[in-house]
Amino acid sequence: MVQINFALKEVNCKIVFYGPGMSGKTTNLEIVHQKAPEENKGELTSISTDGDRTLFFDFMPLDLGNVAGMRTKFQLYTVPGQVYYNSTRKLVLQGVDGVIFVADSDPDKMDENLESYDNLIENLEEYGKDVRELPHVLQYNKRDLPNALSVEDMDKAMNKFGVPTFEAIANTGEGVFPTLKVLAGMVLESIDRMDNRRPQPKALAQSAAPAGAPAAGAQRRPQRAAATAPQQRRAAAPGQRQPAARQAAAAGARRGPKAAAGRGQQQRRPGPARPPQQRMTQVAPVAKSGVAMAVVLTLFLAAAVAGAVFFIIQNQG
């Protein structure tokens, strides 16, 4: 499955070379590792037997650089061709994004090609994947064999779904990179289709709203328009009666500047006392009475102290 890291702007895709034993899967990967630029490739990891046959899998990371603003990386794997390693094949297929099926052009190997291709379909079905929807291509390897089957015969026997096919001689590198390039493009196109199918936030909001409900922010606008439309019609209609304020202003202008000035003065006359002012007038007497009480208490204390001092002096004398 494609792994997209939006924080790092990075896309990781998994491609698997599949096919029967000794068909040239590991050779394809070795050629890619040999000819890819040093800054774009990682270390090739291979676990093989003494007979130079893949025991578990081969692995190599490949960096394609920036594609549409995202750093695109491919993880390249091969599977063991032997039938009794099917559990390992299935494990390597987990999360696959594209498959290069490497078929042997030797006529004696056609049965193994068909068996391995059917095995690929079965293993993908166990992961819920349909080989017709998964990006994959067929590579007819070993085209340098003197008895190699024709492309037409191999297409007729193997290409059930009309996928792209390539002729290759993996030992020399012929056809290796064109095969990988086309499959990489198919994988990237599948990512783009998946992204287009993803519902957008606006679409989700509209689908979540009840049927017939207006969009957010659209309820108040018609009300404002309805409120202002009559006013605009009244202001624009000629010959209509003017409001009372405008009539009064016009009458004052006809009576002259003195009448207008007198009218303005009458309007500025203070009205009845407001509640806050009443509260202020009530607070003032209370403050005055408090000051008077303080003065009386002070005089009383002073008289008492003076009397006590006079009494003490008289007793001492």
Question: Tens of pLDDT along 56-111?
Answer: 667 888 887 777 777 888 999 998 877 778 888 899 999 999 999 999 999 999 99
Cβ contact 129:101 at 8 Å: no
Residue 16's identity, in one-letter code, is V
pLDDT band at 301 (very low <50, low <70, confident <90, very high): low
Q: What contacts 255, CB < 8 A, 6 or more positions away?
A: none
Query: In this predicted structure, what is the pLDDT of residue 151?
Result: 96
pLDDT at 176 over 50: yes
CA distances from 182 to 36, 61, 244 (A): 16, 18, 83
Higher pLDDT, 252 or 36: 36
Higher pLDDT, 1 or 155: 155
Query: In this predicted structure, what is the pLDDT of residue 7?
Result: 77
How much is the mean pLDDT over the chain?
74
Residue 212's identity, in one-letter code, is G
Cβ contact 1:93 at 8 Å: no
| pLDDT-wise least confident of 105-119, 164-178, 266-280 | 266-280
Query: In this predicted structure, what is the pLDDT of residue 293?
Result: 66
Taking the C-alpha atoms of residue 207 and residue 211, their distance in angstroms, rounded to an integer, is 9
Cβ contact 115:79 at 8 Å: no
Query: In this predicted structure, what is the pLDDT of residue 181?
Result: 93
Tokens 């990489």, residue located: 184
Q: What contacts 69, CB < 8 A, 6 or more positions away?
A: 9
Q: Measuring CA to CA, which residue among 23, 10, 28, 209 is closest to residue 106?
A: 23
Tokens 């203070």, residue located: 270
Query: In this predicted structure, what is the pLDDT of residue 86?
Result: 87
Instruction: Give the torsion sign (CA, 119, 144, 172, 164).
Output: negative
pLDDT at 274 over 80: no
CATH topology of domain 3-197: Rossmann fold (3.40.50)
pLDDT band at 215 (very low <50, low <70, confident <90, very high): very low
Q: Measuring CA to CA, which residue among 17, 33, 15 is closest to residue 25?
A: 17
Average pLDDT over residues 196-214: 47
Average pLDDT over residues 170-189: 94
Taking the C-alpha atoms of residue 59 and residue 46, their distance in angstroms, rounded to an integer, is 7
Query: In this predicted structure, what is the pLDDT of residue 297?
Result: 64
pLDDT band at 16 (very low <50, low <70, confident <90, very high): very high
